[in-house]
Amino acid sequence: MRSDVLLQNDKVIPAWVQPVVLLDLCHARGVPLPKLLHNTALFLGDLPFRGAQLSLSHYRQLLSNANRLWPGEDFPFQLGHQLANSGLGPLAELLSRCERIDEQLNTLCRFAFLLNPALRLQVYRPNPQSAMVLCHAAGQLCLSDTERLVAMTTLRQLLSQHPATGEISCYLAAPRRHAIEHYHSHLSADCHFQAPWDGLRLSLSISAAPETSSSLRFRVVEAECEQLVNGRRYLIDALHRYLHQHPDASDLPDAAAYLGTSISTLKRRLREHACTYQEVLDSARREQALVELLLNDASVDAISERLHFHDSSNFRRAFKRWTGTTPSLLKSAFQ
């Protein structure tokens, strides 16, 4: 396997960034720290965890513990606010130095790992006055409910602070899980549930910020972020990017060769992620089809051709299997 491809059990998440913010938040609400740390490979004696690193599996366990032990139903929202305010390490300063909204959006995508280790972001600009920020899972096929709401709350708060950002709408792929007042008070946006994807739609004003060379401090903080990320991606993320860049590539042997591993090893690694290559392929094609249909206004025939289906009938059947509905009905509902 290529050295820049990560697995869920690789210890790469800085424990002194998001995990410490989570622990501080929960401790302030009276949650016992030993119970929070159960099965996370972190121990109280290791505080303040400087230099310690977590795997994605352990980080997700920490989130699950906190969500279960939190006294109330608003844990994901509260953690999202806390991360946006004080839990992003050098990424926070880097974002504050992005004068143009495009620069900020690109920075968020580039360093999504530091925003939320479980997150993969994509930005689409249907026109100069709007943007769609899509949230995907990086280390598995789907975000959990907690990961989804933490990510949406953090992004909503960060993006709303930019002067070019106007109205924001939130789209959540899952049904509503919490009292509606939590969504209204913490996301402060129109919320659409059981949507085609998880993401934020932004209305934007044209930024008048000039093109300027990056300051020395900007480059220093950027280097700190790059050092923490180190060009690495989780296996599912790497496969998605490969399939987006090569829409005609559907064979497992080609994917294994791209990742620098054998077919049997790739199959075994995917089983460890509780999925198959066909499920990753379907997930990537679904993402691309939804973007082409709903954001790029492409026809079914054009999408079918771009995704290398034999014909539009085959694509329509696959789309119905992926989404439970037809392209025309979904497009009408989304608009």
Query: Among residues 187, 204, 221, which one ends one of the domains?
Result: 204
Q: How many domains does the chain have?
A: 2
My answer on whether 267 and 151 are in the same domain is: no
Please tell me whether residues 129 and 247 are part of one structural domain. Answer: no
Residue 194 in any domain: the answer is yes
Residue 54 lies in a domain: no
Q: How high is the pLDDT of residue 205?
A: 86
Q: Does residue 48 sit within a domain?
A: no
Please report which residue ranges of the chain form alpha helices under DSSP H.
Answer: 18-28, 33-36, 56-69, 75-86, 90-96, 101-110, 112-115, 145-160, 180-187, 216-229, 235-245, 252-259, 263-272, 277-290, 300-306, 312-323, 327-334
Are 246 and 127 within one domain?
Answer: no
Structural domain containing residue 256 = 233-334
d(CA 335, CA 333): 6
Q: What is the pLDDT of residue 211?
A: 55
Crossing angle of helices 180-187/75-86, nearest 10°?
10
The answer to whether residue 154 sits within a structural domain is yes
The verdict on 196 and 112 lying in the same domain is: yes
| 199 and 254 co-located in one domain | no
Judgement on whether residues 266 and 312 belong to the same structural domain of the protein: yes
Q: What is the pTM of this model?
A: 0.92
Domain boundary among 155, 183, 204: 204
Specify if 105 maps to a domain. Answer: yes
Same domain, 172 and 242: no
Any domain includes 305: yes
Clarify whether residues 84 and 200 are in a common domain: yes
Q: What is the pLDDT along the chain (335 residues), one digit of tens a residue?
A: 899 999 999 999 999 889 999 999 999 999 999 999 999 999 988 888 888 999 999 999 999 999 999 999 999 999 999 999 988 989 999 999 888 899 999 999 999 999 999 899 999 998 889 999 999 999 999 999 999 999 999 999 999 999 999 999 999 999 999 999 999 999 999 999 999 999 999 999 865 555 555 688 888 999 999 998 988 999 999 999 999 998 887 789 999 999 999 999 999 999 999 999 999 999 999 999 999 999 999 999 999 999 989 899 999 999 999 999 999 999 988 87
Give me the CATH number covering residue 323.
1.10.10.60
Asked, for residue 25, whether it belongs to a domain, the answer is no
Residues 143 and 182 reside in one and the same domain: yes
In a domain, 126, yes or no: yes
Same domain, 87 and 198: yes
Residue 86 · residue 21 · CB < 8 Å: yes
Do residue 100 and residue 195 come from a single domain?
Answer: yes
Of 185, 204, 223, the one marking the end of a domain is 204
Q: Tokens 């100069």 belong to which residue?
A: 128
